[in-house]
Amino acid sequence: MLRTKAVKLTVIPAMAFRVKMPGGPSITIQRADYQQPGIASISRTSGEAIPSKNTNTKMYPPEAFAEAIKLTNGLKYTRQKDKKGVKVTKDMVKEKKAKPVEEVALNEEAYQMIVDRYTDKKGNFSYDLMNKEFIRFAKTSSVVRDMVAENQSAAKIRNYVVYNKIRNITGMDLSDKEIKKIVEKLDEAYPKGVFKDLNEEIKRMLSASKKKK
């Protein structure tokens, strides 16, 4: 079968690779502490993972598939022997010693794409317009819906929305640090926080979910 090389995930102790299928690419994740692999197709419209019915979503949460999609994006497919998953040992997923923090430069091109997208007819950057679009993404995302149902932190949900939306807008495989730098630059002109409205909406979503239980 045609698949990419395996990459190590950080959200769970596992390795993942992308498989080329007739109906489109899919993601396979194999934990070191769980025999059954997690498999998901990739939505052509949203780019998000759609786990198979046999995938244990507690062992393979949405954020694991999101990370796998990001890490395998752009990797070349090579023909490899068809095996069940990929052999993973605990040594393969052990944490490495922390490396010195490297300063990340602002991606000027990506930053300008964000500014241009949300600049109104008067030439002013519209934080309101940007928040509305990001909130719309949050409300229609199945991954966000699952994260809210699992009562994950507002910060974690907000990061998922912001990072994935910015990658969708720019069409670039930006790292989390690069996106954080873009947000910091936007925050310079908006001390209250550029995504203040988005943060409040996510908190309302979490509050509404708790009341239903």
Mean pLDDT, consecutive 10-residue stretches, the chain (213 aa), reads: 84 90 84 87 86 89 93 80 50 50 76 89 86 94 92 92 92 88 83 86 92 74
> pLDDT per residue over 42-98, tens digit each?
888 888 899 988 889 899 999 999 999 999 988 887 775 544 445 555 555 554 444
Contacts for 145 with CB less than 8 Å, ≥ 6 apart? none
56/189 Cα distance (integer angstroms) = 44
- Per the prediction, the chain carries an average pLDDT of 84
196/203 Cα distance (integer angstroms) = 11
159/63 Cα distance (integer angstroms) = 11
Judge contact between 156 and 147, C-beta under 8 A: yes
Q: Which residue has the tokens 């008067």?
A: 122
Contacts for 57 with CB less than 8 Å, ≥ 6 apart? 38, 51, 146
CA 210 to chain centre: 24
Judge contact between 202 and 145, C-beta under 8 A: no
Judge contact between 131 and 198, C-beta under 8 A: yes
Which residue type occupies 186? L
* pLDDT the model gives residue 21: 76
Judge contact between 19 and 28, C-beta under 8 A: yes
Its pTM stands at 0.53
